Structure 1
Amino acid sequence: MGGSTDDEKVDLLIKAIQKLKDQVNIPKSISAAGVKKEDFYATLDEMSELAFDDQCTAANPRYPLIKEIKAMYIKVFE
């Protein structure tokens, strides 16, 4: 696949995922999927708490803080 360092390999993986998203027409953000800003922010706290409480969250190498989950949601919204 290429890349001689972990950073290069991660960059190549991200580019490959972006290319695949383009090929199958997956929106690049939550807002691009048609979710309105006011609707997103009205449910952000609840979504973040649900993600925090999800049983899969415990399988992460590091347990995230709710504020970190919110930040991830905001990043993928925009």
Structure 2
Amino acid sequence: MDSCGRGTEYRHGKTYEECKQLAEDFTTQLKPKIGEDGKLAWSVLLETVNHDELVYKLTLKYLRRDGYDIGNRDRPEIKKL
């Protein structure tokens, strides 16, 4: 990859904008599950996003933006604040 940008293809041939949209969709999907169970493990999130690191990180970012505690390396789980 010679350059980075919004139109550059990342893993699985998706652009950054497509990854952002996927992350928003996953965030919307996961909110009710976190509400029901009280928490969601990072490993479950990683499986949900099909091990796509960029979408995984963006999903965590959007969950934090929407008022969720995304945990840390000692407590790898997501909870509603």
Structure 2 length normalisation: TM-score? 0.27
> In terms of Rg, which structure is larger?
1
Q: Which of the pair is proportionally richer in helix? A: 1
Structure 1 length normalisation: TM-score? 0.28
